Amino acid sequence: MVGDLLDPVSIDNALNGVDKLYLLNAVVPDELTQGLIAFGLAKKRKLKHIVYHSVFKADHFKDVPHFASKVAIENALRDFDVPFTIIRPNYFFQNDALLKSPLMDAGIYPVPLGTPGISAVDVRDIAEAAAIALTSEEHYGKTYNINGPEILSGAKAASIWSALLGKTIRYPGEDMDAFEEQMRKKAPSWSAFDIRMMFQGYLQRGFVAGDGDLKTLTTLLGHAPRRYEDFAKETALEWKKDEKSVKSSKGNQATRSVRKHDYEPVQT
């Protein structure tokens, strides 16, 4: 069933026969409207349970547009009589899977994580936590911080990638104006500003797991959260496989080109 989160009719139709909802909104300018429409319809239909995908420390980052949207949706969940669970993930490991060119070509780790660092998390742990919360009533009314087991700083990330790629990866520091300008080349201006404010908040206020967060998450998952270095190893292997595949493909094309030339009659 396809639904448009800005079209209440389509969402209402999509909720036919549904008794539980995992609510995850994209980071868009109307994220709050989308989230409240879905929540309002879930409330109207008296769904048994909503698991809401929020963000770690949302209430400490109210100057970041997509964090502020999530705070408002969390407040709505708490103010009305709908069973809910909130998961609050940290920054995703898998965002760094998009850094192949900066890392392998330019030799830099460009994400401004700073010296304090963050407790970044694997999306597979987020998915597991969401599934567990959705399939058990014991998580009603609870909020879970979903953090990784280690603090990842910009310099540490660069060091990990240096070892895996066999080359020096440099961490250039935290020039937030330059970072936002670079982001605008790939994303709308509003999004570049939003993401800039998020990372600036990481640097100023911290984004590290609190006391007890890892123990609670380990109990919830039934295993320790995944490590960034293991994600990076998997990703580096995939990139290297892709490089070999491209080289092999180019080699085959060159061979075919030579053979065609060898057998072509000479035009005089």
pLDDT in tens, 207-240: 999 999 999 999 999 999 999 999 999 999 999 8
**Mean pLDDT value across residues 148-170:** 97
Q: What is the pLDDT of residue 250?
A: 61
The pLDDT score that the predictor gives to residue 264 is 33
Whose CA is closest to 159, among 91, 235, 226, 232? 232
pLDDT confidence tier of residue 262, bands split at 50, 70 and 90: very low
Per-residue HEC secondary structure of the chain comes to CCCCCCCHHHHHHHCCCCCEEEECCCCCCCHHHHHHHHHHHHHHCCCCEEEEECCCCHHHCCCCHHHHHHHHHHHHHHHCCCCEEEEEECCEHHHHHHCHHHHHHHCECCCCCCCCCECCECHHHHHHHHHHHHCCHHHCCCEEEECCCCCECHHHHHHHHHHHHCCCCECCCCCHHHHHHHHCCCCCHHHHHHHHHHHHHHHHHCECCCCCHHHHHHHHHCCCCCCHHHHHHHHHHHHHHHHHHHHHHHHHHHHHHHHHHHHCCCCC
pLDDT for res 268 = 32
Identify the structural domains of the chain with CATH numbers, from first to last.
8-233 (3.40.50.720)
Check whether 48 has a pLDDT greater than 80: yes
Contact 126, 87 (CB under 8 A): yes
Instruction: Identify whether the C-beta of residue 221 lies closer than 8 Å to the C-beta of residue 125.
Output: yes
**pLDDT higher at 253 or 114:** 114
The predicted structure's pLDDT at residue 252: 59
Give the model's pLDDT for residue 222: 97
Summarize the confidence of residues 75-83 as an average pLDDT: 94
Q: Are 203 and 114 in contact (CB under 8 A)?
A: yes
List the end-to-end C-alpha distance of the chain, in Å, as a whole number. 64
Tell me which of 267 and 150 has the higher pLDDT.
150
- Report the pLDDT value the prediction gives residue 243, as an integer from 0 to 100: 76
What are the pLDDT digits (tens) for 170-194?
999 999 999 999 999 999 999 999 9
Query: 9-47 pLDDT, tens per residue?
Result: 999 999 999 999 999 999 999 999 999 999 999 999 999
What pLDDT does residue 3 have? 80
Q: For 96-122, how does the pLDDT look when each residue is reduced to its tens digit (9 = 90+)? A: 999 999 999 999 999 999 999 999 999
Instruction: With CA atoms as reference, report the closest residue to 58 among 145, 136, 131.
Output: 145
Provide the pLDDT confidence category of residue 251 given band limits of 50, 70 and 90. Answer: low
Of the candidate ranges 67-71, 117-121, 260-264, the one whose mean pLDDT is the lowest: 260-264
Q: What is the pLDDT of residue 265?
A: 33
Compute the average pLDDT of residues 244-248: 67
Give the whole-angstrom CA distance, residue 230 versus residue 19: 36
Residue 257 confidence (pLDDT): 45
Tell whether the model's pLDDT for residue 1 goes beyond 80. no
Percent of the chain residues topping a pLDDT of 90? 87
Confidence of residue 244 (pLDDT cuts 50, 70, 90): confident
